Amino acid sequence: MADPDEILLNADDKMDSAIQAFRRELNGVRTGRAHPSLIESLPVDYYGAITPLKQLGSINAPEARMLQIQVWDRGAVSAIQKAIQASDLGLNPAIDGQTMRLPIPALTEQRRKELVKMLNNKTEDARVAVRNVRRHSHDELRKAEKDGDVSQDELKRSEEELQKITDRHVAVYDLLQDAGVPMFILEPTLDGHPRHPLYVPNKATLQLYGVSNA
């Protein structure tokens, strides 16, 4: 017998998982400032096993535009180098024994355009993932009502609750907040809103966007 509360709980859990995936995607976006999360999850072919980079060495950011990797196994250095160069991050590591340094280039106008497009695509992918969960859960509720497991009143209540769950997850800012990812902007407008990346100077760096900027 289908339980509408369980269906809603599963939907909430799956939407949360979609948000966490969105968070990981955002962490992998290069914005011009060094942060270990940029490469932590980069897949490395380590002796035939695909392994996250963070499991092969310690990663830190000694400078605002420099990442440093202290590789634990000398034999993994070449594999890590290949993984970084094969990614779409546009980074070229300098190797000194088991230490790898990755300079983070400043954002160019072309890179800003690519960044805007990439973020838009990732945001839309996250929205689609949440809506797919909603559609599947809605089908389950409808089937439960058709099979006689829930009444029409229960179906209506569950559909309304499912929509509330969906609305909470779909909003972009909510996606970021729920995932524990702060929103950053390159520069605010006079009204405190994020300025489009194409209209800020190349030397601009990320700054936190929150209540004080709104």
pLDDT over 90, % of the chain: 29
Segments of the chain with pLDDT less than 70: 1, 24-33, 107, 111, 115-116, 171-214
Among 112, 119, 18, 104, smallest CA distance to 59 is for 104
Q: Which pLDDT belongs to residue 213?
A: 38
C-alpha distance from residue 205 to each of 129, 145, 153, 154, 173 (Å): 31, 54, 53, 51, 20
Q: Which pLDDT belongs to residue 18?
A: 82
Q: Which pLDDT belongs to residue 192?
A: 60
Could you tell me which residues are beta bridge partners of residue 69?
A: 59, 100
Q: Which pLDDT belongs to residue 205?
A: 62
Q: Which pLDDT belongs to residue 191?
A: 58
Domains of the chain: 4-26+109-181 (1.10.132.20), 33-103 (3.30.1360.40)
Q: How far apart are CA 194 and CA 187, in angstroms?
A: 6
